[in-house]
Amino acid sequence: MMFKEIPCIKGDGGSFSEETHPVIEEMPLAVKVNGRHALTAMTSPVMLREFVIGFLYTERIIKGIEEIESISIEGNTADVLTTDPFRILMSHKTVLSGCGGSMSFLDIGKLPQIRSGLILSAEEIRNAVKEGLDSELHVKTGGIHVVGLYGTEGKIQAIEDIGRHNALDRAIGYALEQSIDLSRTYIICSGRISSEMVRKCLVANIPVIVSRGATTTLAVDLAKARGLTIIGFVRGKKMNIYSGGERISEVSPSGAAYLGPEPGPGTGEESGERAD
């Protein structure tokens, strides 16, 4: 269960009544690596092991799941032992549940190049967004992000979390545990594609990230420099391809990567969806 029924006073016009409403759960998770505190994350209380694995991987604390000897999670603390106890860790950090700024310093020159021959059709992308972002929990609470990990055979795993960065780490952690070739996968997400989302995809060698919402200029710059495909505003038969159009079978490598009219003012996100 990712939500609780919380008492509130509901108003409808001039009428008010005491009722309850489902509110999404949030918890702090302290992560220790080789006995040293590495971070505290504000996150949803599900798939914590996958979150820890994905986060350590995308922050380059580990190079692969084989470098993890053990993970123990009790209450609000996760203890991780790695094969290299002398690896220099990040300073103490707090990962907030809001999808605001980036955690990691972005040096384009130090980010990996995408290595993938994945080709997708526009229809595959539309179907994935329609299926993967249909969240009953979001409809019920209005307070959740969804990240879907997809392959050429369809959905691999859908992750729900209060923060889309956390959800992406969970998806990556799940794939690492399942020995899934991430170069043959793509990500769909419910919120804005930020530079940090792009960075995580580059580290994991995920070649395509798709959203029904917007992206940012820095995210596009990073994606173009390192061969990542960004697709936004996937709604109905429309989509905007901001980078890597050669991975979409209907788009010629030399053609403009844009399908459908530009969303008008105030349509940065679907009704009821946060801009972040």
Model confidence over 184-211: pLDDT tens digits?
999 999 889 999 999 999 999 999 999 9
As to burial, measured by CB atoms within 10 angstroms (0-12 exposed, 13-18 middle, 19+ buried), residue 21 is: middle
User: Who has greater pLDDT, 102 or 231?
Assistant: 231
234-259 b/e with 16+ CB inside 10 Å = b? Answer: bbeeebbbbbbbbbbeebeeeeebeb
CB 220 within 8 A of CB 90: no
Do 73 and 178 have their domain in common? no
CB 229 within 8 A of CB 249: no
Q: Is residue 150 part of a domain?
A: yes
Do 171 and 68 have their domain in common? no
pLDDT of residue 89: 58
Q: Is residue 193 part of a domain?
A: yes
CA–CA separation, 27 and 225 (whole Å): 36
Do 45 and 82 have their domain in common? yes
Do 93 and 141 have their domain in common? no
pLDDT of residue 127: 94
Residue 187's nearest CA partner among 219, 218, 162, 155 is 155
pLDDT of residue 56: 93
Q: Is residue 20 part of a domain?
A: no
Q: Is residue 68 part of a domain?
A: yes
Do 56 and 157 have their domain in common? no
At residue 95 the predicted structure's pLDDT band, cuts being 50, 70 and 90, is low
Residue 235's nearest CA partner among 203, 260, 199 is 260
Do 70 and 186 have their domain in common? no
Q: Which residues have a Cβ under 8 Å from the Cβ of 10 and sit 6 or more positions away?
A: 16, 17, 18, 19, 21
Q: Which amino acid is at 36?
A: R
Do 41 and 133 have their domain in common? no
Do 182 and 219 have their domain in common? yes
Q: Is residue 5 part of a domain?
A: no
The CATH code of the domain that includes 69 is 3.10.20.10
Do 208 and 131 have their domain in common? yes
Q: Is residue 105 part of a domain?
A: no
Do 90 and 180 have their domain in common? no
Do 129 and 172 have their domain in common? yes
User: Who has greater pLDDT, 52 or 100?
Assistant: 52
Q: What mean pLDDT is predicted for residues 161-175? A: 93
Q: What mean pLDDT is predicted for residues 18-46? A: 89
Q: What is the mean pLDDT of the chain?
A: 83
Q: Is residue 265 part of a domain?
A: no
CA–CA separation, 201 and 168 (whole Å): 9
Q: Which domain holds residue 51?
A: 27-97
Q: Is residue 135 part of a domain?
A: yes
Task: Give the number of domains in the chain.
Answer: 2
Residue 68's nearest CA partner among 79, 37, 89 is 79
pLDDT of residue 162: 86
Q: Percent of the chain, pLDDT > 90?
A: 52
Q: pTM (2 decimals)?
A: 0.82
Residues annotated as catalytic are 99
Do 204 and 253 have their domain in common? yes
pLDDT higher than threshold 90 for residue 93:
no
The CATH code of the domain that includes 187 is 3.40.140.10
